[in-house]
Amino acid sequence: MSSSDRIAQFQRMAEADPSNEMAHFSLGNALLGEKRFAEASRSLERCIELVPEMSRAYELVGRAMIGAGWADRAVVLLERGYRIAAERGDLQPRDAIAALLREIGREPPVIETRASRPAAASGSNGFTCRRTGRPGTRLERPPFKGALGAWIQENISSETWNQWIGQGTKVINELRLDFSREKDQQVYDQHMYEYLGIDEALLKQLSASS
C-alpha cells in the first residue's frame, strides 16, 4: 500500500469517528513520514487531546512541530510528554523526547525519582496498566501465545485490552482488512502495537526472548 493510500485510509477513519485516537495517531504518523509537518502536528495534537497519557504521541508531535518550524510550541508538549513517559516507565519515548529537546537547545525536565515518591495507587489486585498508568485488572491469561502475549498479560490491563478489541474491530472494518492476506494482518498488528505502546525496540527484545 502506498503512503498516499495509507494517509487516505486514516483520514477516512478519523473523519468517520473523530473520537478515534488511533486514527488520528496513525494519520499523524503517516503524514510525518511524508514530511507534511503542519498536518501531522494537527492530527497528533488531536490524539493527545483524546488520550493525554499516550507518550509516543508527544514524541511524534514534537518531531512534527520542529519540522514545521514551531520549536517554541514543541517545547511545551515535549516537556509534558517527557514527564508522562518518565512516570509511566516508557523508556523509548522518554529518551527520544529528551533527544528532541536537546536538538533545540533545551534540557529535559528534572523528574523526581520513584524512590522518593509515594507508591502510586494500584488496582484492587495491585495491577497498574502500563499504557494508561491507571489502576486496572490483570488479564487472566495471555491473549495469545509467545513472549508478546506474556508481555501484554504482565503490562496491559484487561480494561485497556478490551478497549483495543473494540478499536481493532474499527480498524478491520474501516480498512476492510482480510486476514487471509499477510499484509493485512501486519497492518492490524501495527495498529495494535501503536495502541498498546509497543515500540520496535520492545518487539525486538521480545522476539529475541522467544
Least confident of 16-25, 62-71, 125-134, 147-156: 125-134
Predicted TM-score (pTM) of this structure: 0.69
State pLDDT tens for residues 15-38.
988 998 888 988 999 999 999 999
- 126: helix, strand or coil: coil
Which of 51, 62, 132 is CA-nearest to residue 94?
Answer: 62
Locate 193 and state its grid cell: 502495537
**What pLDDT does 183 receive?**
87
The one-letter amino acid at 175: L
Q: Provide the grid cell at 191.
A: 495498529
At residue 104, φ and ψ (nearest 5 deg) are: -105, 20
- pLDDT band at 3; cut points 50, 70, 90: confident
Instruction: Write out pLDDT tens, residues 179-198.
Output: 898 988 988 998 898 888 78
Q: What is the pLDDT of residues 36-94, one digit of tens each?
A: 999 999 999 999 999 898 888 999 999 999 999 999 999 999 999 999 988 877 777 89
Matching residue, cell 488496582: 123
Place of cell 517554541: 72
Cβ distance 57 to 48 under 8 Å?
Answer: yes
pLDDT band at 117 (very low <50, low <70, confident <90, very high): very low
Average pLDDT over residues 106-134: 67
Instruction: Return the closest-CA partner of residue 10 out of 178, 194, 197.
Output: 194
